[in-house]
Amino acid sequence: IEPVRNPASVIYGVLAVGALLAAESGRHESYADTLGSVLIALCLYWLAHAYADVLGHRLQTQERLNAKALWRALIGEAAILAGAVLPLLALALTWVLGVALASGVEVALWSAVASLIGFELLAGIRAQATPGELMLDAGVGMTMGLAILALKIVLH
């Protein structure tokens, strides 16, 4: 889940789905409702990023709107959707396994937290970080994950 062109959008996707799952936390009555609401909100987030990119560019350059620019932005920001894959797969897998909805949302939420820590460690390893720097990387990922968990606590 690492696009060559836009790795930051993958991270945005993980953060977005984590925040959505934190807000959700099993409030719906079914997995289908939960998955549907998270997917709709995630797609709106993706569309908002692409739209903001196109409109911001047009405001700076005074270019006219065209389908090619819209399509390019949608493709460029599609990595947001890729970032949400692991937590959404975790949610779907718990559904298939018959896990209670609230527990399934917890598993998906924690997979988003683990993804953030994993991406931090991957970045550190690629940068040939020292053990102390890797601990800092993991700490930053954990802090972002804790922020998502704090959102869950505040909302519920």
Q: 75: pLDDT confidence band, cut at 50, 70 and 90? A: very high
pLDDT of residue 69: 92
Residue type, 91: L
**The tokens of 19 are what?**
């925040």
Residue 28 has pLDDT above 80, yes or no: no
Q: How confident is the model at residue 156 (pLDDT cuts 50, 70, 90)?
A: confident
Give the least confident one: 1-5, 24-28, 108-112. Answer: 1-5
pLDDT for the residue 27: 65
Dig out the tokens for 14 from the structure.
């993980």
pTM here is 0.85
